[in-house]
């Protein structure tokens, strides 16, 4: 089985969906560690409840020194020997220095239909643009932010009267469908994109 590390910064609902699916039969991946850059991330508790090792690498002591933060991540990961990394609401930008060592072995979920709306505030931007369809994307991580080969997307309708919060909630439901489905395929060596409609 491929050993899967999950990086997060928050509540970890996507992490839970990945762990739940890896616990089901026939999965080529198994979780080895959950890493957070914030000690107060709710996802750490949810991982521990599920018997998964957790680590915290606080970015703040490193200030602007991203290289030192990433070196600490690498040191922390080493004993867990991951084969793959899944970013699941990890809200720190990683540089090429870290990413290059994980090329083709690191996935991210992003709450928009990439290439639209890289970066933050994706739901507000989709509403502002008058989009009728929004969604989420799982992609391989490359050195450019929210770039990299698309491994799957799920579409979500934008409804009259949507606020960023109501739209985010509808997208999150699809994130929880898409990410486990993509990881299951990816861990088994499948790279063809998975396109879901709701």
The answer to whether the beta carbons of residues 123 and 134 sit under 8 Å apart is yes
Per annotation, catalytic residue among 27, 59, 80, 110: 110
Cα separation values, 193 from 15, 172, 183, 185, Å: 21, 19, 11, 10
Query: Closest distance between ligand GAR and the C-beta of residue 142, in Å?
Result: 15
**Closer Cβ to ligand GAR, 84 or 189, answer by number:** 84
How many contiguous H segments (helices) and E segments (strands) does the chain have?
6, 8
User: Could you say whether residue 89 binds ligand GAR (CB under 6 A)?
Assistant: yes
Site for ligand GAR in 1-30 (CB under 6 A): 8, 10-14
User: Cα 108 vs. chain centroid, distance in angstroms?
Assistant: 4
As annotated, the binding site includes: 12-14, 66, 91-94, 108
Respond yes or no: is residue 27 known to be catalytic: no
Phi, psi of 114 (to 5 degrees): -60, 145
Q: Is 151 exposed, middle or buried (0-12, 13-18, 19+ CB in 10 A)?
A: buried
Give the contact letters, 38-77, x = binds to ligand GAR (CB under 6 A), - = no.
Answer: -----x----------------------------------
In the block, which residue shows the tokens 């990439």? Answer: 114
Q: Which is nearer to ligand GAR, 111 or 148 (CB)?
A: 111
Nearer to ligand GAR, 127 or 172 (CB): 172
Which residues participate in catalysis according to the annotation? 110
Q: Which residues bind ligand GAR (CB under 6 A)?
A: 8, 10-14, 43, 88-89, 109-111, 172, 175
């Amino acid at each position: 089985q491929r050993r899967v590390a999950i990086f997060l910064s928050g509540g970890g609902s996507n992490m839970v969906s990945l762990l739940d699916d890896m616990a089901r039969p026939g999965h080529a991946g198994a979780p080895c560690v959950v890493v957070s850059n914030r000690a107060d991330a709710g996802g750490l508790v949810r991982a521990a409840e599920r018997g998964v090792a957790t680590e915290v690498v606080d970015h703040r002591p490193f200030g602007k020194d991203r290289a030192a933060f990433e070196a600490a991540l690498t040191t922390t990961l080493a004993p867990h020997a991951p084969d793959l990394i899944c970013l699941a609401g990890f809200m720190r930008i990683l540089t090429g220095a870290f990413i290059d060592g994980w090329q083709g072995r690191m996935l991210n979920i992003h709450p928009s239909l990439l290439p639209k709306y890289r970066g933050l505030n994706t739901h507000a931007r989709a509403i502002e643009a008058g989009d009728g369809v929004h969604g989420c994307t799982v992609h391989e991580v490359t050195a450019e932010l929210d770039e990299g080969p698309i491994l799957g997307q799920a579409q979500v309708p934008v409804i009259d009267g949507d606020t960023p919060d109501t739209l985010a909630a509808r997208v999150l439901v699809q994130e929880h469908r898409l990410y486990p489905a993509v990881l299951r395929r990816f861990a088994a060596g499948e790279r063809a994109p998975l396109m879901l409609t709701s």
